[in-house]
Structure 1
Amino acid sequence: MNLILIGYRATGKTTVARLLAERLGWEWHDVDPEIEREAGKPIDRIFAEDGEPHFRDIESRVLARLCDGEHRIVACGGGTPLRPQNQEVIRKTGKTVWLTATPETIHRRMTQDPLSAQRRPNLTNVGGLQEVIDLLEKRSPVYRKLADWIVDTENRTPEEITEEILEHFRPFVER
């Protein structure tokens, strides 16, 4: 079994994946850096030069590879769960945790992290807080459908979030 973290950007997926892996002694992977490694360029350049469909194709290959195994923590990109083939991989290979936050918190976290703004392009022409609101409205039903557990990250430390996930999934991860 694997633990797969889903949710919008800036909800703590990468940080929590690393902490979970440390606590469980499992390997952890972040889909976005693996996409960049496979493409040989950063995400913003993939979008600009090759387009979103090409990015999503790479993302699907990377997800399938990272989930092919046991005892892995996989931090998905925010849009990873949108493709039906990715949903199937996620469902079949592990338990899924949806990390949530309000649109305002997500936007604040994104703007406070210069690397996030630099590496990740706007996904619509709107940008900013309105983009977060619009995309969460579109993505939340997919996240909800896939989630075995939902964790609100508002005003919580990554350690608190990690502990909640471990408590909930202890029967599955201690086998």
Structure 2
Amino acid sequence: MLQMHHSEHHWNGKPIVLVGLMGAGKTTVGRRLAQKLNLPFVDADAEIETAAGMTISDIFDRYGEAYFRDGERRVIGRLVDGTPKVIATGGGAFIQDQTRELILEQAIAVWLDAEPAILADRVRRRDTRPLLRGKDPEVTLTELAAIRNPFYAMAPIRVQSVAAPHDATVNAILKAIEA
């Protein structure tokens, strides 16, 4: 269930940033983790939408991915301000070099790792993901995993997100950060 690399991690009050593919449960797990730790929860995508005054799909459609990634980096930079909180990021955030460096320097990154079949099952329930429009979710997520997992693997903590209640994942994170 749980893999640690580098040294053992004791949570030091830094923001906890959840990274991983769409459908890994970053928002749901993040909310529950924040409740358990009695911390604020922030969804970076929701913050980006608020700052832009439009949905992420609309930002992608109107301005393109590069514009979105720049705004995402700025919003995450503002969120990892040293105060304790739990932050859920969009699936592509940690892939961007500058954004990843910010997160690794200023926060504790936790990779919610899940099999593409589990992710596909979860994301089929909502049609709000620009990268999946008109595509087979499992094929697309398998391709994304091949590209993105080496980046996610740079997170110091990796927790398997399985087809089980989200509390199992929350408890695995709490154990990993020894909170």
> Fold-level match, TM-score > 0.5?
yes
CA distance in 2: counterparts of 1:37 and 1:83, whole angstroms: 21
Query: In structure 2, what is the equivalent of residue 86 of structure 1?
Result: 99
Identity %: 34
The amino acid across from 1:128 in the alignment is P
Q: Report 1 or 2 for greater relative contact order, CA contacts < 8 Å, sequence distance ≥ 6.
A: 2
Q: Which amino acid aligns with 1:138?
A: I
Relative to its length, the structure with more helix (as a share) is 1
Q: CA deviation at 1:53?
A: 0.7
User: How does 1:155-174 map onto structure 2 within 5 Å?
Assistant: 155-170=163-178, 173=179
**Where does structure 1 lack aligned partners over 5 or more consecutive residues?**
none
Structure 1: distance between partners of 2:137 and 2:35: 34
Q: CA deviation at 1:25?
A: 1.3
- Partner Cα separation in structure 2 for residue 156 and residue 124 of structure 1: 27
- Map Cα deviations across residues 55-96 of structure 1 (whole Å, 9 max, x no partner): 111100110011113211111100001111111111111211
Decide which of 159, 162, 166 is 1:154's aligned counterpart: 162
Residue 67 of structure 2 aligns to a residue in which SS?
Answer: helix
Residue 20 (structure 1) shift? 1.2
> Match for residue 6 of structure 2?
none
State the one-letter code of the partner of 1:58.
G
What secondary structure sits across from 2:124 in the alignment?
helix
Residue in structure 1 matched with residue 148 of structure 2 by the alignment: 139
Alignment of 1:12-161 (within 5 A): 12-112=25-125, 114=126, 117=127, 119-122=128-131, 127-145=136-154, 147-161=155-169
Is the Cα–Cα contact under 8 Å of residues 35 and 59 in structure 1 kept in the other structure? yes
Q: Which runs of 4+ in 1 moved over 4 A?
A: 123-127
What are the superposed Cα offsets for residues 136-170 of structure 1, whole Å, 9 maximum, x if unpaired? Answer: 1000000001x211111112211111111111212
Aligned-residue RMSD, C-alpha: 1.5
Aligned residue pair count: 166
Rounded to whole Å, the distance in 2 between the matches of 1:124 and 1:93 is 34
Can you give the 5+ residue segments of structure 2 that lack an aligned partner in the other structure? 1-13
Change (3 A) 1:61 1:123: farther
TM-score of the pair, normalised by structure 1: 0.89
Task: Report SS of the residue matched to 1:4.
Answer: strand
The answer as to whether partners of 1:124 and 1:131 remain within 8 angstroms in 2 is no
TM-score (norm 2): 0.87
* Residues 29 and 74, structure 1, Cα contact 8 Å, conserved in 2: yes
Aligned counterparts of 2:137 and 2:165: Cα–Cα separation in 1: 24
